[in-house]
Each structure stands twice: as structure tokens, then as C-alpha cells.
Structure 1
């Protein structure tokens, strides 16, 4: 890894440790080589994070939260507190860290461990104060990372570490009791628990850890034929699950689990935008449509690249190094705990940059042609994106004022030759008097539901969207039939920061523009998306029943049904 890549991003790279993640661990003890330069850079960056996070610790012994750390809302909590132990474990065990074997840092870490023990419930769980209380999965997230910190501190040879490790062991063993019996909320929580149990079992073998992990693993891994996990959370939970499965495979000798990791990594290679961001549009979790790079995948790609001598995975590592840079430092403990990761990557192979890939289980179609790409999305009001280098059309939406329910969304994407078809059929009925024998005597409207009323004057609106490739981009054709004179508006939602040409700004509407005719353009950092022709038959962009506007520069095309229009992007 090129050191200059990291130095370039240093200003924004204070090591944020993703506490809600879990890493893998190898029991390899053989010393391989001197710490590589890229890892040395991450250790130095971790030092900056340690220095910053220590300032958040409560040092007043009279304070009930003594030893704990505050979050951004000044709430002392187990997660921020455990971050000090995690980051401190990285530093105190690295000979190139300025905190190597630091007694002062060790003392702070010991206070943090004591706070964790004090706030831990009798059943061994902790609270995630933003939402989950007496939470087994959140306990698992902490135990997983802190078990690795325990190992790093133990191997560091830091004078006086026995006392701190004893306190940390108390927290971990109690946590293991909770993990051996407690429940979960989401699919990935099962693997969080199993991975934490694997790490505990490597430190303090216990049949109950193995038995509980086998119970969860008996449900099988939630992977579809596309290579995606149930939550389809490409930025957060898919990469998390990859890391967890590596941990479980190693800890419980289940190498077959690595096949799931391989399938997901293979799929993810086609979920990369030209600028190195990850496609998140089909996610079923909080990262849906989130802008993010692939730092969360660096560890599984590096681990599997070295294990399989896979040049494609090695190329993904190199791409992530360039586009995410210092952000991979959030998983520093992964790299410190397993020195096999210090080896040079195998020779890279070219990454896919010219393809059409369909993922039916995710309702997604991916088209990439060199420096531009497009994503088609089913079951989503944002059903099209187009990126060209730095210029990003981050979403297209269509809405009409049809009975307050005219936001377009297609249940599926149907491939018709070289065209993809999205459709929606809406009905707008009127309701007749309630059946006489069932009229509520007190006249309560709620006791006479529409479901049982005869309907009449039923209006319909059918919308069909045809999407296809052109020589240098994409084309969208919109067709409607049915009820006439329904106002509609097409939204082109761009990423903030660029400049437009060829548009008319809409008065009294923030960051809203109308493309009345001809071609418009959007430019950012040397890249330009051209789009058109336009149509602007009205200025009503806040249609009843449509989703609220996105806080981003938005270009509107407007008209009335029956509507037929083609717009091209290049």
C-alpha cells in the first residue's frame, strides 16, 4: 500500500472505531516480518484517535460514571467506553506506537474496564442507549472486539496489565453467559453472537459456547442465489457478516462458511461505482441509499485474497486503499491480531468495469461502462441512478397527483430484450352508500369501513417506464394511459456541489430547477452528465401524495397524462 495515499487523507482520518462491527482472528503465532509501511501508518493514525478519545473519559472519582466515556451527546455509555480499550489495545501492543506499553494509557483502560463491569447487568448484557436495553446482540458486538483487545494487551508485555486484564476478563465472561442464552433481533445478530462465542472459546474454552453457536448455525446462513445476505445491507451488514463468518470459520473449524464469504465478495465486485462508492440502493437497513466507500470490506477481501491467492480480491484491496484510504484503520485490530495479513497481496487481476448484471433477489440491475454506471431498482420510489465519474445523478422519481397515491414504484424489473420495464397500475374509486343492513346506528364512520362499500366511477392510471442503453449512456421512456389531465412530475435528484446549465430555477423552491426544453447538464470536478430533452408544462412540483422533496439539487420535468416522453443521460 502506498503511504502517500494515507497521508493525503490524514486531515479527515481520525481513527473512528466501528464498535458495532466484529473482526476475525487467527491463532497464528509465527512472526512473519516487520510491520509493513501501510500498517505502520494506520498505527500512527490510531494514536491520534487514542489521544482524542481519552479526553472523553470521566476522571472525577466522585462521579457515578467514573471511568466511562461520553458520546457526542455527552451520554456516558458502554460503546464509547469500550472504544478506548479497543483503540488502546491497538496502541499499547504496537512497538511503533507512541503509547507502546504505556502505563498511563493502561490505567485509563483499566478505569474503562471497571466502568463496563459496573454498568453490566446481572445477566451479563449491556445497553445500547439509543434503542436496545439488556441487549444480547449489542453485548456480542462489544465482546467480539474486546476479546481481541484482551489478546493484544496480553501479548504486549505491558507492565501491570494483569490487573486490567482481570477486570476485562470479568466483563467478557459475564458477557459470555448472556451470549450463551440470550436472544436477537436481526439476521446478522446470530452471527455476531456466534463470532463473539468463538473468540471467547479461544480464550476460555467452554462447551456452552460451542453448543449455543451450533444452535444458531443450525438455522443456516441467510444467503440468496445472488450472493447477498437477507438484509441486503451492502455498506454495513453484508461486510459485517463476511467478517463474522471468517471469525466463526476459524474459531469453530468450519471452513465451509468461507464459501458464503466468497460468494458475497464476488457479487460485491459488481456493486462498485466508478468513483469507488458502494451501491446501497437495495438495502433493507439504515444504509439504504447511503453514500459510502468500501472500507468495511477491506479485511475480508485481504483475508480471502491471501488465503485463496485471488488476484481479483487483491485488486479490490488496492481499489479500496485508493478510494477509502485511512478509513480502513477502523479495523486495525484485525490486522494486528493476525500477522498473516501482513504478507504482500497476490498479483492483481483487472476488475470488472464493463458489464450488465441482474440481481433478481435484490430487485437490482447494474450496468457499467468504464467511467459511467447506472442502477435500476425495484420496490423503491427511487428507481434509477446514473453516475459519471464525480458527477452523480443519485436518483430519479416520478409522481402524479392521482388520488394522493401517485408515487411511482414498480414491484419488479422485467427484462424485455435490451430493455428493462417497470410498471405500476393504480385505481381511484369513489364509494357508494353503506349496505343498509349494516349501517352503524350511532353514525360512526369508522364502523363503516370502505372495504364493504360498493365502488363506482373507478379511475385508473397505468404507468410504464422503459429503460435501455444508448451508445454513450442510458435512456428512460415514460408512458401513461388511463385517466387524463393528471399532473405529474419527474424528479432528477443530483448530488450537491455541482453546477447546472440549460435550466430555469423554480421560484420559492429551494434547489429546484425546471428543464423546459432542450438539454441540461450537471458538472462536478471535471465530469459532466448531460440530460434531456426537457418538458415543462406546469410548475407544480409538490404534488399531493408525492414524497417530500429531497434536500439536494433537483431538476423537474412536468406534464399531464396521457404522458409520453423520452429523456436520455450521457
Structure 2
């Protein structure tokens, strides 16, 4: 970051209280003011994209990056604009011009809202209850902040926003969902609406979803294992439901997930995403999405480890925390000084069997072992990142290595894959179709012969300052194989040979290679390069990243070290 963001937290408060009246905390701490200033930049940008032509049927709407007018971009102006109108340190504080633009945005939302109360997510979902919930989740906070702001001119926005929200509520008490977290989205939104405009139907519908029980496993992970997006979302939603419906027992799930997440942090402040079952799988992400849950429970529980996580997120995610400014403004109890920090785990070996994952961290380096995934190991040392290792063979076009299990094996772990490649005999004579149609002669009715077999065992163990990996195969011989080391772009590779006519593909011979970025270095090898076929049939396509290959033939037996 260019400058320190969180300079002081000078105000104190009885941390046991999760909610505080605004008039008892009239001055925002400097760290929060910094986020308000960042939000101002977002508001100014959004205003440039709003349709202002009074003769346009799209008056008030905002476009997305594909130049499509949509309710989500439009709602963002209301959400971010409310934070600015509410905050005395904002350049838009109680701005009548901004309130007018926000009102146009709400009017556009009303125009695009379906008669059943839903809105569309134009990229994929239509008449969508859950996407309506995602929108209302933040707009309900906006309504609360507008009410607290007492800004002249806010009444018109609030009246129209109330109309929109109540119509959404009618959809939320009957509509269906797609994914596990949608249940908590809808429940949290109904909880918010019930706080604003109490209605037994809101509570009853939320209870229907909540009766399915919270989908948290023994590891502390939600069903979708989406560490960057949906786990933190579920944490925020359960806090909302706990507050609004007085269900404090739900906080136990949030605590368990936050406790687990401390072991999912890379030394550079990124979060492990390799086991995710959603669109954030293997993305590079920091922990800004967890800031509100960690801060809420740091204050509520006086938890020093959660306070330390907040400080770490402030340093590594920085101004991205401003994406949750509305949550922070809506609960002034969170403006208080955090409790005294306590150390968080930075030196451990921790298994998460429900996620098929093992985490190893030794302060400034770490490794992640992953089952049921073509990328089965990552290794990070500061800025130097080996973002994945894969292994494949050209065995009947299905030789991409994936192990269903990650088993403990003495001092280390083991991944195993067993493959078969059969040939097929003539179809049973009495069942041959008269038209000779191949599709009417399923393979599973044909006798098999000459069945080829290939077993691959990958053994992994920790060594001093790093990891050792041994790959062994047995079975069919002379099958071309390749071990693939995929590095994060931006660094420099040494002691490797570039493959001709490739963008960023390299071979490692019988030596050690290095990858260096910002003074941090990963040493890897030794290698071997018995062939140059790195696009094996049946293997996954190469990633758009610097990739080093070690190649050979079965029986393949090779050990490499990462330090």
C-alpha cells in the first residue's frame, strides 16, 4: 500500500454491546474516514455512468462493463451513495444532487422490477429470487442509513426505495433458490425487512429455510467450500440473522468458520481457494470479505485472535475493505478500538479431511496439498508462488492425474490414481442391430481384452525449508508422462530451457531450477527431460502462466524438492 490506512482507533466502547446508538459515537475513527474517502471515488465514478437523459426510457439506470443496463450496477449507486450521504467526512455528505441521482436509480429499479417482485441477473438468472435477495441485502442497509442520516431530500428516495423493497419482500416469502448459501441470503434479507417493517410472513419464511440447518462441516467449512466468496458471505448473513431475529446461537457457526479460515491464510495474506466448489476455485484473493465478520466478533467476543486477523486484513487487503463500508457504518459498535491482539497460527500442519486438504505453514513459506483436484500441491515463499503442480500421461487419453483421496502415509501423505485402458471384442451376435448403428451397440456389452493398467502414486513429505515429492508409476510401459510446475506470472526462471514456439513453456533437465520474484526465490528440481511432448493427449490444456515441465516415460520414478 502507498500509505498506512489504519492510523488509529482512538475511540473506546464497551465491546460486549453489539449495537450502539449513533448519537453516542458522533465521530468516526480515522480508519473509517479513510474508507469513506475511498467510497467517494466509487460514487464519483458511478455517477459518470448513469443515464441522465430525461427523454430516455432508461433514465437513472447504470451500465455494466459490457455496456448493459442492469439493476445491480444501478443499485450500487444507491448503496455507495447512501454511505456518502450518511458520512460527515464525505465530499457528498447530505448532497441533494447525489440524492437526486440516487432517486433516479431507485425509479429505474422500480421500472425493471417484475410484477412478482423479482429482478434479473442478466448474465444468467431471470425472475430470480436469490439475486433479488443479493440486491435487497445491501439496499435494506442503505434504507437504514438514509433514515439515520436525516439528510434533507432523503425522504423521496426512502419512499421509493421502500416501495421497491416491499415488493421484493413479496418475492422473497415465496420464491425458490439455487445454491446452499441462497437459503441464508433469503433468510438474512427477510430478517432485515422484518426489522424495518415487521411482518410475520417474513419470519415464517426465514424459519422454513433455517430449519434445514446450517451446512457447516466438522472442518468449519460450508458446503460450497468457497473460501473467497461464499464462506465469508455466509458468515455475514448469519450475523445479520442472529442480530435481527435474536438467534445468537448462529454465531457458533461463524466462529467455527473464522477459526478454520485462520489456517487458510498464505504468508502474503492471500487465502487458499484451491478446494472451492464454486467460481472462485484457484483464484488469487485476499481476505477483505472476512473483515466485517472478524471485526464484529472481535468486538462482540473480545477475541484477540480475531483482532489480529483484522489488522492483517487491513495491511494486506487495504482499501478493498471499503466494499463493506455500509456494514461498518450501520453498526457504530464496530468503530471501537479492537481488543488486544493475540497471535494467530503461522507454524502448523493442519488437515481438513472434509475438504480433502492439508495445510502446512512455516511462517514465511507454506504448502497446500489437495485431493480430488488436478492441481494437487501449491507452494509459496513470499512473493514467489508455485501456484500448482500437475502430472499427466498419455494413457488412452485419460491420464490427467487426479486422486480421490489424500491419505496420511507415515511422516507424509499419499495420492493415488488407478487407470485401465481396455480393448473391445465383437458385439454379442444375438444383439447386433440390423442397421449396423454403432450407437445401438454400447461398449459395456462388449467383452474386454488386452486390458492395460497404470497406477500412479505420489508421495509428499515435508523436509527442512520445504517439501519433497516422489512420483512413481507401475503398469503399462513406455507411456509418455510429464510433471508440470506452474508458477505465477511476473517472476524470473533460471536454469531451465525454453521450448521452441511456445509463449512461456520450459523444460528442466538434470539440475535444479529457480523462480525469483521481488527478492523471494523458490528452488525446484532436479528435473529430467526425456521428451518434449508437453501437450499430452487427455491432459488439461496449459495454463496461461510460466510452466516448467519434467518429462519421461513409464515406469516413471522421480523425486523433486521444493525449497
Query: Which bracket does the TM-score occupy, shorter chain normalised?
Result: over 0.9
Residue 452 of structure 2 corresponds to which residue in structure 1?
459
Residue 357 of structure 2 corresponds to which residue in structure 1?
364
Q: Is the 8 A contact 1:33 1:342 kept in 2?
A: no
Shift of residue 33, structure 1, vs aligned partner: 5.2
Q: Between 386-395 and 63-72, report the one with greater CA deviation.
A: 63-72
Deviations 1:23-73 (A, max 9, x none): xx9575552352000000011111111100001111112211111111111
Is 1:427 matched up with 2:420?
yes
Alignment partner of 1:275 out of 268, 271, 289: 268
Residue 503 of structure 1 corresponds to which residue in structure 2?
496
Is 1:237 matched up with 2:220?
no
Shift of residue 202, structure 1, vs aligned partner: 0.5
Instruction: Determine helix, strand or coil for the equivalent of 1:321.
Output: helix
Separation in 2 of the partners of 1:374 and 1:529?
A: 12
Residue 330 of structure 1 corresponds to which residue in structure 2?
323
Deviations 1:282-340 (A, max 9, x none): 00000000000000000000000011111100000000000000000000001111000
Is 1:176 matched up with 2:169?
yes
Q: Is the 8 A contact 1:92 1:102 kept in 2?
A: yes
Separation in 1 of the partners of 2:101 and 2:560?
A: 61
Shift of residue 5, structure 1, vs aligned partner: 2.4
Q: Is the 8 A contact 2:20 2:332 kept in 1?
A: no
Separation in 2 of the partners of 1:160 and 1:448?
A: 74
Aligned residue-pair number: 553
Unaligned regions of 5+ residues in structure 1, if any? Answer: 9-24
Alignment partner of 1:110 out of 93, 103, 113: 103
Separation in 1 of the partners of 2:178 and 2:215?
A: 14
Alignment partner of 1:442 out of 435, 441, 456: 435
Q: Is the 8 A contact 2:470 2:559 kept in 1?
A: yes
Residue 3 of structure 2 corresponds to which residue in structure 1?
4
Deviations 1:367-398 (A, max 9, x none): 00111000000000000000001000000000
Is 1:249 matched up with 2:242?
yes
Instruction: Determine helix, strand or coil for the equivalent of 2:561.
Output: strand
Residue 541 of structure 2 corresponds to which residue in structure 1?
548
Deviations 1:90-120 (A, max 9, x none): 0001111111111100000000011101110
Separation in 1 of the partners of 2:4 and 2:371?
A: 37
Separation in 2 of the partners of 1:531 and 1:160?
A: 64
Q: Is the 8 A contact 1:222 1:230 kept in 2?
A: yes
Q: Is the 8 A contact 1:3 1:41 kept in 2?
A: no
Map 1:114-513; keep pairs closer than 5 Å: 114-513=107-506
Q: Is the 8 A contact 1:26 1:337 kept in 2?
A: no
Separation in 2 of the partners of 1:219 and 1:288?
A: 26
Instruction: Determine helix, strand or coil for the equivalent of 2:250.
Output: helix
Separation in 2 of the partners of 1:393 and 1:30?
A: 51
| CA-based RMSD | 1.3
Separation in 1 of the partners of 2:426 and 2:474?
A: 29
Unaligned regions of 5+ residues in structure 2, if any? Answer: 8-17
Shift of residue 241, structure 1, vs aligned partner: 0.3
Which runs of 4 or more aligned residues in structure 1 lie more than 6 Å from their structure 2 counterparts after TM superposition?
none
Residue 22 of structure 1 corresponds to which residue in structure 2?
none
Shift of residue 4, structure 1, vs aligned partner: 3.1
Q: Is the 8 A contact 2:6 2:30 kept in 1?
A: no
Residue 68 of structure 1 corresponds to which residue in structure 2?
61
Deviations 1:428-463 (A, max 9, x none): 000000000000110000000101100000000000
